[in-house]
Structure 1
């Protein structure tokens, strides 16, 4: 069961890398006003959602402690990110404040995962 848990942790990290990487690759375009929400960001957020739910389930199945408040905050942030990226994914240009909000929420989600103990 631990192998499965580690597999989902790795997939979760790949998801966050895709979301953050998709954001960072659009930073030069943001200066020109042509940044857009790309497929990497959408698929990264979806991967994080699915693997995050699986991780919570696997941890609870093994009677490991799960901080439900932390998970709830991370889930709420991810749902906001996913909602923005999903709704705006087909637009030619992303509004700068909205695009920066997604980046800030992504970084916040990373720091919550790492620092909230």
Structure 2
């Protein structure tokens, strides 16, 4: 049994208008020819999205972050440089200890 795909984003204005009229999810689904579960899921996602917007949080970027992404804020640059300094100090210690154990210098 194949699943019917619906671009529910195109139906958003209609769904919002029907919800403003006070119609139930079942009534909205029946009038648009969709499943009740599709409407319930959309309403849940829409409510979460609106709550995030009201709270002032930025939407998450989609996809995986780039490996070689350049830091954008000064805090990120400072944090990255501090990490690099710490890593290099540790590397120097390891090399110094290795050379001493081998008997060089």
TM-score by length of 2: 0.31
Higher relative contact order (CA 8 A, sep 6+): 1
TM-score by length of 1: 0.29
- As a proportion of its length, which structure holds more helix? 1
